[in-house]
Structure 1
Amino acid sequence: MDSFLPLESMIRKISSPWTLLSLLALLSALVTLSALRGASLGRWEKVAVLRGPFFQDDDLNDEDDDYYTGRSEDSANAGGEDDDYWEAIEEKEEEEKEEGKVEERRGEKESGDEGTTKGEEEEKEGEKTTKDEPKETEKQKVILLWTSWRSGSTFLGELLKRVSRKTFYSYEPLHLFRVRVFDKRDDGDSLTPPVVLLRDLLQCNFEAHANLVKYQRNKEWYARANTYLGAACKKGKSLGQGAGCSSPRVVSEVCRSASVHLIKVLRLSLRWARTLLENKDLDFQILYLVRDPRAVLSSRGRVGWCKSPSCKDPNVTCSLLAGDLAEVPVLQREFPDRFKFLLYDELCQDMTASLADIMAFLGLPVQEKQTEFLQAEKASKDKYSVNKNSLLQAQLWRSRTSYQEIVQPVQRSCKSSLEKLGLRTFPTEEEFLDLNVPAIERPSKL
């Protein structure tokens, strides 16, 4: 019997309340540590997607990584550059549901066949064309919208996208290179990774850029912007091909099947334009969009992601703008049918006439969906919105911009550019705030 005494003593100790509570606490701690380790590994794997040789940047800190590869508290609300509009929609669930209902009713109206099932409508969606829309048998029209952050490109891109139901919209393909501008040096013509990527995308060559396809696949704003690709992915999913749009080959095929390929690109100095225009393998047109730098810096100051000197420093941004504007007259003279300069502030004076001029340059007819998009009656104070009255919107920045902190520094740094663009320099704050005094003083000298 004595041999069982230690066992009985052990049982009494284990069965005591304090011992049981200690064991439970230990188990809980182990479970928590395991969960945290799993989350940490998951985030590391997500960040590792971009750690290829083209995407390393020792000058960028962890906060930048959080923004581009994760959803930090600040970045979740800030969105990403001009794509902030698309990410902001995710926070407006009720509006999104209503928009979904409107689109569904619109699709039913356009089908013109009450007996057509929803599945049949999706299958035929890519084949529908309006009377004047580019036909599939015609050569694909490739449009490169070249601009900088907060210059009105989201608005203009949405307008151009509506030229066809078969528009493949390569929205911000250089987004993964973060908030910086790649200039071209005088001492060499070697292509930088962003230029190589853009060159390949002009030919719908996604096979050479699997990292880009993987990156964009996880971005909701990209799927919302590129509706043609989104419809193809949705159709493939309904046919049991859910992984199709993860394939660079499939994405390339969808891109090549489009009537129009619209590419909105930031982060490149205009000095790279000649390199691409002189490439005989490429057939595309450039729309180079510029906006009043005072309005640009004002808009950038209201978003949290604009932290780099090339984005927020008036001296740097004005220097980059001056370099770009020096290229404009030369490109217009040497490539008159392939390069067009656009001043956003001038476009907004008469957006309907401006649209007609742009489409004439592109050799495409104005579409009903484009004119409908211009029917907004009020200016929007939502920095994410693209549905806004363009003329009112063009002046709205003046009523909410600091004259001392934004206007005066930009006018000093961008003096020559403002003169070239035909924009007025405001000597006093009173004149700046008087919206009866137009910002456009005369036609641009470009």
Structure 2
Amino acid sequence: MVGCGLALGAYLALTALTHLAAITTQHNTGGFGEMGSGSEQYTLPSLEDVIQSIQDVDVQRVLRTYTTQHNQVPEGTPPVRLIVSSTWRSGSTLLGEALAAHPGVFYHYEPLMPLGLQQVGPTHTEQGKSTTLLRDLMSCDYRTAHDYLKFAFVNHDMFVRNMRLWSMCSAMPRSKCYTPDTLGRLCSVFPVHVMKVVRARLSVLAPLLLNPWVRVVWLVRDPRAVISSRTNSVTWCTTRSCSDPGYLCSDLALDYSTYLVLKEEYPKQVLLLRYEDLARHPYDKTRQVLEFAGLTLHQQVKDYLDDHLTSDEDAPWSTRHDPSTRVARWMKVMKFEDVVKTQYQCHNIIKNLGYRLFTSQTDMDTGNAVGLLNLP
């Protein structure tokens, strides 16, 4: 099954890349969307210019309160759009929040959440719509994002996770924060965007790489650990696309094939990161991701890691714990028969991503599941 997935993934990835030139970035705002041609020209709107262009006194007021924070953005910060592409229970919340702690970051938290527990792949009916939404959000263009805004208004977590946006929203009538014009203006003063996406395959994100400022981090985790976490840590993983290891590893195989193609086409815009490596070396790996995006390990990012990695909250969604102490937990709670079932479905992708296959309970008890990552 996975072997077929790799072949299909390579075909779909190549097909997607063949059509990249046909993807345009029209009707975007803030100057970012016009860079799809590869132009290096970009000018971040000055905070004062944005304030003067707004007639709403509430919006003007909250932007003026942001002045001090705006001045903390390091000079020369590039207008990068950094996408963390992963799947449920793979560590994307920790990485996304750590990156979002960098000054000048506008954080798009799971913008495809309205789709529920499903994965958007290259043949999904929502593929084109999803790619367009992600592109528009990174361009601060909310004019056609009606469904997204309706969902976000009810599900506060999507905006609460963007701490800088939410601090502005909390300082004025909240309904104003969900209008396309207000959001677009607030968004436009941030040079860096971080986007966490767990419901779309890499082939759906591929067209976004036409913009030279887009960076994609493909965050993966041992499929056995993912299935264990989905089974033992949460109660909402009820669909087959979430709970079935066959679906998980088929998605991973497709992403793996796409990644190999994208890495060759866009070597400076695509990065693979294993959660286990991030968990064991959080500062070094976070620095690596930031440098990949042209940023530095800013003190505010260090402060975030210091705070979260020294706390201990045993909750499914908590990022306040030392991940290095939990990276091997699945081997203690997952039944070996379930490990065997997952390995049967995921044999090839487990090996491709540098994880060890277990042949016995005794072998698993050693806790040595992570090997070297050797990509072609």
Q: Please tell me the TM-score bracket, short chain as reference.
A: 0.7 to 0.9
Alpha-carbon deviation of 1:354?
1.1
Unaligned segments of structure 2, at least 5 residues: 1-60
Counterparts in 2 of 1:408 and 1:174: CA distance versus 1, 3 Å? same
Match of 1:221 in 2: 157
Select which of 181, 189, 197 maps to 1:249. Answer: 181
Distance 1:175 1:234 in 2: 22
Distance 1:414 1:200 in 2: 35
Alpha-carbon deviation of 1:304?
2.0
Any idea what SS the aligned residue of 1:235 has?
A: coil
Match of 1:269 in 2: 201
Distance 1:400 1:191 in 2: 36
Alignment map for 1:175-190 (pairs within 5 Å): 175-185=113-123
Are residues 1:336 and 2:267 paired? yes
Select which of 235, 243, 247 maps to 1:304. Answer: 235
Are residues 1:346 and 2:277 paired? yes
Select which of 414, 418, 438 maps to 2:350. Answer: 418
Amino acid at match of 2:315: D
Distance 1:396 1:413 in 2: 21
Alpha-carbon deviation of 1:432?
1.5
Distance 2:77 2:293 in 1: 14
Match of 1:385 in 2: 318
Alpha-carbon deviation of 1:425?
0.8
Any idea what SS the aligned residue of 2:172 has?
A: helix
Select which of 207, 232, 244 maps to 2:168. Answer: 232
Any idea what SS the aligned residue of 1:263 has?
A: strand
Match of 2:256 in 1: 325
CA deviations on 1:207-261 (whole Å, 9 max, x unpaired) are 1112211210222322320111112212334xxxx53112121112111111321
**Conservation of the 8 A alpha-carbon contact between 1:271 and 1:327:** yes
Any idea what SS the aligned residue of 1:288 has?
A: strand
Alignment map for 1:186-205 (pairs within 5 Å): 191-205=127-141
Match of 1:111 in 2: none
Counterparts in 2 of 1:399 and 1:233: CA distance versus 1, 3 Å? same
Amino acid at match of 1:403: F
Distance 2:347 2:88 in 1: 20
**Conservation of the 8 A alpha-carbon contact between 1:183 and 1:268:** yes
Amino acid at match of 2:187: C
Corresponding residue pairs, total: 313
Alpha-carbon deviation of 1:153?
0.3
Alignment map for 1:5-404 (pairs within 5 Å): 123-128=64-69, 133-135=73-75, 140-164=79-103, 166-185=104-123, 191-237=127-173, 242-278=174-210, 280=211, 283-302=213-232, 303-375=234-306, 376-377=309-310, 380-404=313-337
RMSD: 2.5
Distance 2:82 2:74 in 1: 13
Distance 1:154 1:416 in 2: 27
CA deviations on 1:386-422 (whole Å, 9 max, x unpaired) are 01112112122222222212x1111111111111111
**With CA pairs under 8 Å and 6+ residues apart, which has the higher RCO, 1 or 2?**
2
Alpha-carbon deviation of 1:384?
2.0
Match of 2:57 in 1: none
Counterparts in 2 of 1:134 and 1:146: CA distance versus 1, 3 Å? farther
List structure 1 segments (4+ residues) > 3 angstroms apart after TM superposition.
120-127, 188-191, 377-381
Distance 2:96 2:86 in 1: 11
Are residues 1:439 and 2:369 paired? yes
Amino acid at match of 2:85: W
Amino acid at match of 1:348: A
Distance 2:126 2:116 in 1: 21
Alpha-carbon deviation of 1:363?
0.8
Match of 1:427 in 2: 359
Alpha-carbon deviation of 1:123?
4.5
Counterparts in 2 of 1:359 and 1:130: CA distance versus 1, 3 Å? farther
